[in-house]
Amino acid sequence: MVTITVDMDKCQSYGQCCFEAADVFALNDDGQLEYVAEADESRRADIEGAADVCPMQAITVE
């Protein structure tokens, strides 16, 4: 399993991560980021891509 953490103090809800892994990251109706804390290992590349494109570098993948 891949563990995902988003530092919500850093996150500005730009949503770039949503384009990389829409099944893990999404903006809710209020425009705030929501995410799944664990995902299958097969999603690692897309999740790491989402972390890379985050302008605030708020996403950690373990």
Q: 6, 39 in Cβ contact below 8 A?
A: no
Record the tokens describing residue 24, joined without a space: 């893990």
pLDDT at 45: 98
- Over residues 18-57, the pLDDT tens digits come to 999 999 999 999 999 999 999 999 999 999 999 999 999 9
Q: 1, 40 in Cβ contact below 8 A?
A: yes
Pick the CATH number of 2-61 from 3.30.70.20, 3.90.1640.30, 3.40.50.720, 3.40.50.2020: 3.30.70.20
Q: Domain spans of the chain?
A: 2-61
Please, which pLDDT band fits residue 14 given cuts at 50, 70 and 90?
Answer: very high
Residue 41 CA to residue 44 CA, distance in Å, equals: 5
pLDDT at 49: 98
Q: 47, 62 in Cβ contact below 8 A?
A: no
Record the tokens describing residue 12, joined without a space: 């500005």
